[in-house]
Structure 1
Amino acid sequence: MVFPGTLSQGCSRCRKRKIKCDGRRPGCKRCELYKVTCPGYDRPLAFRFHVEPGHSLVRDEPGRPPPQTLVSDEGPNWGKSRCKSSGVARQPQPSFEDESISYFLHEYCVFPGPGVFRGHLDFLEGMYRNSSRASCIRPATLAATYMSLSRHYKSSTLYVTARNYYGAALRAVNRDLSASKRPLKDETFASLMLLGMIENIECQGQTTKAVHMEGISKLFEVVGHRVLANVDESSLNGWIFTQMFYRAAKRITASDGPPSTPSEQRDMLVPVIKQAMAIAAGLAAIDREAIPTKLQPQQTTDKRPTAPQNQPLISFQSQWTACKWSLFTMFLVLFFERLHLCSKTLLQLGTTNSPETQLAKTAATIADKQLTTMIHMLSSAMPYLMGEVDSQGLPLPAPQRQNVVMYHM
């Protein structure tokens, strides 16, 4: 097979005569030597805009009448009409504000529905649209939306815009907090939570302190536990409670140091294990009776070609419900892991046939069984949670993952 070479870029006359053309514009040198008019160059894909003589390419000014359409009388070959325009319209510029809000609502908002556990940020759109121009929720929302869109597009320009709105949101929140005579509104709490989201979306690292969540925790100590006592009133209250629990769990499970003597350790561990056993019994009752059927995990099998045959899977009616179930299960794993540790410690302190030893053995057995079951259930739910399979275990052509699920996980 012979390479034919690149296409000729010469003028039409030189190409027809199959002679070399220098490609000079507007006419080639060979046509000039032969004293003939160069026919030019055939470029069917090249577009050139022409304007009428005496008209320049200027932008339309406000108040100028629209261009007139004149009908020509030069015959049918000329065309039915030609449009005389005094300017060239600008290309429409995208509205990154609208796009960022739409992207954030699509990726981070979950609306309540059948099979959906409560919701997440479902109040944000209405709160933003009904707020005043001076409300702190506006710059806080735009800061979060621009930050998420900048991560999606990897755009430094959108990131700078997000940081500008972030500074405006801080000033607006400080203004609302300084007005001590007025009661704090939901917009202020929501703005603080959005600022906390920005800290996480920006990914500054594990060592960076979540200053906004520490601030909202201190704020509750001052104004009272209104949200904590009314978690079921709105998804905003539930969101605040969950985020505060994340950060309080480490302080709850941490110890200042073990007691100095075995007797003091035994006196501390026995009531703690009894209380944990009562909590475990209550959790089992909730699992059997309180959780609606639409929110419970569904047993299915993994139908992906690479998976072992009839491998069990757990799915739900929505990924958000699967996310909340997984988080709750992780809390239970931590709870039973602590119970197992306390039971093992008590077994090392007690005698062979004492009531404390029997209590520790029972608690250790229950904790070990629950840990094995829950870890297996978590691993079985991961394919659905990560959007690799649908609720029936069938593989999806492309993973369907919502950012809010990945954010919480």
Structure 2
Amino acid sequence: THLFRARATPPIKDSMVYPGRLSRGCSRCKQRKLKCDETKPSCTRCLKYGKPCPGYEKNLVIRQEGTKFQVQDPSSGAVAVLPKPGRSHRGSSSSGSSSGSSGSGSYSQHIIDPNDFISTSLGVIPSWDSEALGYFMHQYVLPEANDCSGYLHFLPKTYLESPESSSIRVAVKASAYLSLYRYSKTKEHEIQAHTWHHHAIRGLLEQLRSGHEATSEETVVTMILLSIFDDIDGRGGHQKINPHLNGLIHILQRSNRSLINAPFFSWVRQQLIIKSFTADYHIVDPSWVTPSANPNPHLDNFRVVAVRVNQFMTSGRQLLAKLKQVNDPANKEPLMSPVELKAQLLAVIQEATSIQHEIDEWISTIPRSDKWGTMCKNGKPSVYIFSSRYLGCYWINVFTTVIILQGSVIACYDILLTMTRSSVDLNLIMAKSKSGSEAKTMLTHIHKSIPFSMGNIDQEGTKIFRPESRSAYGCLLVWPLAVLARCRLSGDVEVRDARAALEVISSTMGVDLAHWVLNEWRSPLYPFIQ
């Protein structure tokens, strides 16, 4: 995770008088000329009126187009100026470029203008391209003020350096149109999304058939974008847990170290870690997630700990498979005796204890500015505040990792207690209770981090009338919220709020994977995570 800071520069003043905030209320409140509280999915006024709330119009309006973001490249220290999506400001190009370094091909030389992403050769209305790409940039690429690098921080430079015929450009357009469709519900946007997706898949298959192109940067970035497309789309069965992930792992096994050191690999590392806990696979090569040259090594080092958790889970699954063979009446020659199995279970638990100690030590070394602060209500801790929403999403994934670890330990204790049913082992019961308490603490941490990370409150803990949500944050929160909603140790309020947040990620942020996770996902840690 690149935790270098992005800062917003004051917006360019325009001679036009600001016309005021557009009404975002539901259509019934607009018709009745009443102030709508914009509660989702149904506003309070409609409920009191006794009528169903018709919902909210989603007109894409972008104002203060001159607002720009300066993003520092972690390797060179150079600064790039990135405007919010909207009208281009060609006049700002020269002044913006002076803030970067003069090195050839440097990230800072690119003044990212939404019009730079438009191809006039496309057989579609150019304004559609501008709207789709601008919206996608805003939701997935550009960082917020005082935030980190952005979910797809590598994409502007990669996109602009790729040729017009590149599968990267095609995949970007596919994801951009689909993200806009999930917002606008305009059928033409959906048609364009799936048309570009078809072309991107065809181009990717051609690259995979080629020996030298199969492990190229273009192939990997295309697969990343197609993974995002599938998360937004959210259709299908089990394969919707990042269907391109196995392909990425295969390519990384065949490639040299250059891909691992590429800017886009931070996204790959992040997804490998998050989804290794929610799907039945393990990270093949721990070197893929070793600490990189990061301005904040404290947070980066968590990757190493996460790999150990993943390896522990892999060992646990193998042990559970052996247990099934031991208990199988048809198996006349079990692989190990109950005594041997018990010894292995205790060894696995000891390994988990060591990992938990390592996590605790790691957290204790992190500066307070990179952790969370607590806002109190009526003298009691209520919500957590972070220096950025991206950092909040990061810590939520850390908390989830500990829950997964302790859930695996609890499963081992359940087996041990079953094996010792003839006698009550108080030590085992107390040890299992301790793991449960640790998991409950992490569940509480996630619950208290949701309001800020979802953009519902500001850093003062005040509720924001119009939530500052980004689809990228939804992608980072889907799996942790699924764990909170389905864990058997979660309280009723935690389950309710996690499910509500997943509904918002699906309906408002446009990441429909959240809907599938909420209703169809079956965790490999069942029954600890239902």
Q: What TM-score comes out, normalization by structure 1 length?
A: 0.66
Q: 1:248 aligns with which of 261, 272, 276?
A: 276
Distance between the aligned counterparts of 2:216 and 2:430, measured in 1? 49
Q: CA RMSD in A?
A: 3.0
Change (3 A) 1:115 1:246: closer
TM-score, normalised relative to structure 2 = 0.52
Q: How does 1:231-310 map to 2 (within 5 A)?
A: 233=261, 236-249=264-277, 250-251=279-280, 252=314, 254=317, 255-258=320-323, 260=326, 261-289=337-365, 291-302=366-377, 310=380
- The answer to whether the Cα contact below 8 Å between 1:329 and 1:374 also exists between their aligned partners in 2 is yes
1:300 positional shift: 1.2
Alpha-carbon separation, structure 2, partners of 1:130 and 1:364 = 54
DSSP-derived class of the 1:95 partner? helix
1:285 Cα deviation from its structure 2 partner: 0.7
Cross-structure match for 1:101: 133
| Structure 1 residues 333 and 257, CA gap change in structure 2 (3 angstroms) | same
**Structure 2 runs not aligned, ≥5 long:** 1-124, 281-313, 327-336, 478-530
In 2, Cα distance between equivalents of 1:398 and 1:182: 45
- Comparing 93-102 with 278-287, which one deviates more in the overlay? 93-102
Instruction: Name the aligned partner's letter for residue 334 of structure 1.
Output: I
Contact 1:350–1:357 (8 Å) recurs in 2: no
Cα deviation, residue 351, structure 1: 10
Q: What does the per-residue CA deviation read over 1:339-365, in whole Å, with 9 as the maximum and x for residues that have no partner?
A: 1231343244459999x985x466434
- Quote the offset at 1:310 in angstroms: 4.5
Shift of 1:246: 3.9
Separation in 2 of the partners of 1:183 and 1:147?
26
* Percent of paired sites with the same residue: 21
Amino acid at match of 2:364: R
Give the aligned residue type for 1:364: K
**Which residue is 1:219 aligned to?**
251
Instruction: Tell me how far apart the structure 2 counterparts of residues 221 and 130 of structure 1 sit (CA, whole Å).
Output: 26
Q: Please show how residues 107-146 of structure 1 align to structure 2 within 5 Å.
A: 107-111=139-143, 116=148, 119-146=150-177
Work out the CA distance in 2 between the residues paired with 1:113 and 1:152.
23
Task: From 383, 389, 394, give the equivalent of 2:457.
Answer: 389
Distance between the aligned counterparts of 2:322 and 2:175, measured in 1? 41
CA drift at 1:326: 0.8
Determine the C-alpha separation between the residues in 2 that align with 1:395 and 1:172: 46
Provide the rounded CA distance (Å) in 2 between the counterparts of 1:310 and 1:270.
Answer: 39
Q: Which residue number in structure 2 is paired with residue 177 of structure 1? A: 208
Structure 1 CA distance for aligned equivalents of residues 266 and 400 of structure 2: 18
* Matching residue within 363, 372, 376 for 2:440: 372
Q: Name which of 214, 218, 231 aligns with 1:200.
A: 231
Distance of aligned partners of 1:235 and 1:330 in 2 relative to their CA distance in 1, 3 Å threshold: farther
Tell me which of 385, 392, 395 is aligned to 1:322: 392
CA contact (8 A) 2:147 2:390 kept: no
Distance 1:341 1:239, change over 3 A: same
* Counterpart-to-counterpart distance in 2, 1:161 and 1:143: 7
CA shift, 1:226, in A, is 6.5
Q: Contact 1:390 / 1:396 at 8 angstroms: preserved in 2?
A: yes
Amino acid paired to 1:104: F
What is the Cα deviation at residue 138 of structure 1? Answer: 0.7
Structure 1's 292 and 172: CA in aligned 2 closer, same or farther, altered over 3 A?
farther
Which residue of structure 1 aligns with residue 109 of structure 2?
none
Residue aligning to 2:287: none
- Tell me, in whole angstroms, the C-alpha distance in 2 between the residues paired with 1:301 and 1:94: 50
C-alpha offsets along residues 63-99 of structure 1, whole Å, 9 cap, x if unaligned?
xxxxxxxxxxxxxxxxxxxxxxxxxxxxxx7611122
Q: How does 1:22-171 map to 2 (within 5 A)?
A: 95-111=127-143, 116=148, 119-171=150-202
Give the CA deviation at 1:288. Answer: 0.4
**Which residue in the other structure is 2:471 paired with?**
403
Describe the superposition over 1:83-140 as per-residue Cα deviations: whole angstroms up to 9, x where unpaired.
xxxxxxxxxx761112211111111125498663x54201101111111112211101
Per-residue CA distance 1:221-274 (angstroms, 9 max, x = gap) = 4436775xx4xx455212212323344333236442515142132022011011
Give the CA deviation at 1:284: 0.4
Q: Which residue identity is paired with 2:255?
A: V
1:213 CA displacement: 2.1
Q: Secondary structure at the match of 1:217?
A: helix
Q: What is the match of residue 57 of structure 1? A: none
Give the CA deviation at 1:324.
Answer: 1.6
Q: Deviations over 1:180-213 (max 9, x none)?
A: 1357332221110111111121121444544322
Cα contact 2:147–2:389 (8 A) shared by 1? no
Q: CA deviation at 1:282?
A: 0.5
Corresponding residue pairs, total: 304
Separation in structure 2 between the aligned mates of residue 357 and residue 239 of structure 1, nearest angstrom = 45
Q: Which amino acid aligns with 1:299?
A: T
Conservation of the 8 A alpha-carbon contact between 2:140 and 2:150: no
Q: Tell me the distance in 2 between the aligned counterparts of 1:401 and 1:327.
A: 18
Q: Give ranges in structure 1 of 5+ residues lacking alignment.
A: 1-92, 303-307
Letter in 1 for 2:405: F
